[in-house]
Amino acid sequence: MSTKQGPSSRVDSAPASSAQDVRGIIAQRDLVVDLIRTACVVLVVVVHVTMVGVAVSSEGIGVTSPLQESSWYVPATWVGQVMPLFFAVGGFASAVGWRSTVARGGGARDFVATRLVRLFRPSIPLFVVLTIGLGIATALGTPADLLAEVAFGIGSPLWFLAAYGITQCCVPVMARLHERAPFRTLGVLLLLAVAVDALRFATGTAEVGLLNLGPVWLFAQQLGFLWADGWFARRSRALLAVVALAGYALLVPLTSVGLWAPDMLQDLNPPMLPLALLAVSQVCLVQLVHRPLTRLMQTRPAQATVFVLGRDGMAIYLWHLPLYIALNGVALLLAVPFPDPGSTTWWATRPIAVVVVLAAAIGVARALRRWDRPLARLSDGVDRPGWPVVAVAVVCTIGPAFVVMQWHLSFGVAFLGAVAVPIGVWLLGRTRPVAGAPVAPGAPGAGRSVHS
């Protein structure tokens, strides 16, 4: 089963000292989940590479969005908006991870600490680099408008850290609700999403929609819990097809009344009700093609591709836009000719651009591998910090990404992340002796965590 959250997957959830060990681990995983997660990350890269076009003319440098200017763009978002599916996949992994934590005697604080460290530690080098880069650009007198536009593009993917971090903090509670009343929980979340959207429309205040970071994404996560239970696998193909089509059919009138946008990317931040319906359809469609995807993932090329791209998925997600913008900047300095954004030549070069960006992101990920290590398991006699410390750590880790999501990236926000996120990760990595189980001074686990 797949147990790793976030935009990455890894075949290292247990020690593997031989090829036989690796094959044993692979046999126990649902590799389709790993495939879907990796495909979602790659599709995000594709979308961003086709969404940003750099135009060079006698009037200077301009940035356009050829993808959004295409006539087929809006219908394509009904397929290309994969974040609902990604949160459902995350729910699958979270369900497995939570059950594993409970099985080995861990609890909510252990789960939250482990997940948040794994999610946010890879972002520390990014925040540091962004702080340095934006600071230098400001000192060199870069026009404020241009710098703000570049910073906005670089920081746009960071919303995911805040949204996913919030859902991970809720997993222990939501898992218990799922065990007691799975469909009632889904229904309540859906009603809450409707209520938040209604309040947003009634007040005309977009910020009200931030409340839907809970209901919409938790709804998708709960679908992942059902997925991990095998609920979708036990449904007939006919029923899955009907539900998937019904979800898309409901989106037609829903996005035609003028309240919700037919552009699924526009409904993303803050998230809105259509994304919850999209999540239902996407999970059903994945289950419909689960068998052929399983056969695909039994081949070595597919496993190798998912392993190479998936193991560094979080780093690829975090770094792909900064690298893409940086590579365009280098090309401008080298006077590399740029095709007109949206032209036939420009579209023909997009596959090359995607491959270059992925290769660069993988290179950065390998160089920063030490920042993508999981939090070590607890040894006997120690526990995670108490809830007050965990609460402070949650604010330190999620806070900067939330600020980026709401007010966009700037030098000050990057600096906040470079300072606060390491503090939060450090706090989550601390341990304390369990009452009644003394730990000898200097023994493994005394005041720190120990690798299993």
Please give the Cα distance from 417 to 130 (Å, whole number). Answer: 9
Give the angle subtended at the CA of 300 by the CAs of 294 and 303, to the nearest 5°. Answer: 60
Q: Are 34 and 2 in contact (CB under 8 A)?
A: yes
Q: Is 157 exposed, middle or buried (0-12, 13-18, 19+ CB in 10 A)?
A: buried
Per-residue pLDDT of the chain (452 residues; tens, 9 = 90+): 333 333 543 433 334 444 444 444 444 578 999 999 999 999 999 999 999 888 877 677 777 889 998 999 999 999 999 999 999 999 999 999 999 999 988 899 999 999 999 999 999 999 999 999 999 999 988 888 888 888 988 898 999 999 999 999 999 999 999 999 999 999 999 999 999 999 999 999 989 999 999 999 999 999 999 999 999 999 999 999 999 999 999 999 999 998 999 999 999 989 999 999 999 999 999 999 999 999 999 999 999 999 989 888 999 999 999 999 899 889 888 888 888 999 999 999 999 999 999 999 999 999 998 898 888 888 878 889 899 999 999 999 999 999 999 899 999 999 999 999 999 999 999 988 876 655 545 444 444 443 33
Beta-sheet strands, E only, within 26-103: 53-57, 60-64
Q: What is the pTM of this model?
A: 0.87
